[in-house]
Amino acid sequence: MTLTLADLYASPDHYLHSFDGDTAVFVPMDRAAYHRSIFLDARISPAEDGALRVPVAALIESIPASLPTGWIMHVAHCGSTLLARALDDADANLVLREPQALRQLAFGPPDGRLALTTAMLSKRYRPDLPTIVKGNVPTNFLLPRISAATPGAPMIFLYLPLREYLFAILRSDNHRTWLRNVTTQLGKHVGGAIGALHNASDAQRAAALWLAQMQLYADAAGVMVNARSLDAETFFADPTTALTAAAAHFGVPLSPREIEARVGGALFATYSKNPAQSFGNADRLARRNDIEAELSVDLDEAERWIAARETEASSALATLRAIPLAV
């Protein structure tokens, strides 16, 4: 069967995975493949082998309007994968976790690809149920363009207070490597504090990245009337209430019984990125306590860095705390 551009825009079975130069790469998917793919980047688990390559220029010529889409934006290592998976019903709405094409746009030129990508991501299997997109740290820097294009979209800003964020970001060599890489990458494309951190310490990089994201969320909150904030510590402490509120916010039809089953089941008792590994909130808190003394110097340095920018940090946090996700 010969596929048309209309087919590519109509069915989630044709997933816009990434861009390769002037070519859009589509991967074959089905509902089960989306459900089992914890992430939709290089770790995707497609329905079958193979890929379709289409010139970007041809796709951009006929971009349809995006369908209403929900968004989960987050600061990383704050339970976003857990929240997104908890909202994913294999027989109902579609949840897209960290699309590779969207991440690429944070580092690419604004040449029409964002409208193309959001239209492709908005596709759904059931017209009566929402598609929800979970971004990642680079996609936070697309927020000015996303909020301008879809000011009415439901969005959740999942964040951590500074000190808890530092525990999450600085807790291991692997996390510090990720931090250095992402701040270096973003420093080439955004101004402000991150761009000035070429020789900064890990603590300064973490503080600057946290503040940049808080400011992006606060700015977007001023535009997006259906944006809400969720402190990750609140989510971890009371996942039933938070999940109930998130489902209602996005229009996901999860009953109280279904929510209780998810919160009390394997999903919340294992590591969200690796279901084979046991991990719950008690384990997270124990890990935090174990590394507090080890991180004391970094914590002090990062907090001093933010204290020198107290006005900006306090303003951004106040804006977020004024729009809490609530049942």
Task: Provide the angle, in degrees to the nearest 10, between the axes of the packed helices 296-307 and 310-321.
Answer: 90
Report helix, strand or coil for 126: coil
Give the pLDDT confidence score for residue 326 in this predicted structure. 87
pLDDT of residue 79: 97
Which residue, among 326, 301, 146, has the nearest Cα to 220 in the 3D structure?
A: 146
| 8 Å CB contact between 83 and 243 | yes
Higher local confidence (pLDDT), 185 or 242: 242
67: DSSP letter = P
Nearest to 139 by CA among 167, 108, 116: 108
Distance CA 296, CA 302 (A): 10
pLDDT band per the 50, 70, 90 thresholds, residue 274: very high
The predicted-structure confidence for 111-139, as pLDDT tens digits, reads as follows 789 999 999 999 999 999 989 999 999 99
**Per-residue pLDDT tens digits for 142-183:** 999 999 999 999 999 999 999 999 999 999 999 999 999 999
**Average pLDDT taken over every residue of the chain:** 94
**Tokens at 216, concatenated:** 């992006």
Pairing of strands 14-20, 23-28: antiparallel
Sheet holding 14-20, edge to edge: 14-20, 23-28, 52-55
Residue with tokens 């970094």: 298
Q: What is the pLDDT of residues 65-77, one digit of tens each?
A: 999 999 999 999 9
- Distances in Å between the Cα of 51 and the Cα atoms of 17, 20, 25, 123 are 9, 12, 7, 19
Alpha-carbon distances of 238 from 18, 86, 97, 231, 232, rounded to whole Å: 36, 14, 23, 11, 10
pLDDT attached to residue 1: 59
pTM of the full predicted structure?
0.96
**Using one digit for the tens of pLDDT, what is the confidence trace for 297-309?**
999 999 999 999 9
Phi, psi of 46 (to 5 degrees): -70, 170
Q: What angle do CA 139, 31, 97 make, to 5 degrees?
A: 15
Q: Give the separation between CA 145 and CA 20, rounded to whole angstroms.
A: 22
Report yes or no: 56 and 91 within 8 Å, Cβ to Cβ: no
Alpha helix stretches (DSSP H) within 39-153: 56-60, 80-86, 100-105, 113-121, 137-140, 143-149
Give the C-alpha separation, 279 to 298, whole Å. 26
**Alpha-carbon gap, residue 141 to 310, rounded angstroms:** 22
pLDDT at residue 110, as a whole number: 67
pLDDT greater than 60 at residue 191: no
Q: Cα 91 to chain center, whole Å?
A: 22
Residue 190 has pLDDT above 60, yes or no: no
Q: Do the beta carbons of residue 159 and residue 214 sit within 8 Å? A: yes
Residue 203: the pLDDT is 97
**What does the alpha-carbon distance between residue 142 and residue 76 come to, in Å, rounded to a whole number?**
16
| For range 182-202, the mean pLDDT | 78
Q: What is the pLDDT of residue 85?
A: 97
pLDDT single digits (tens) 75-87: 999 999 999 999 9
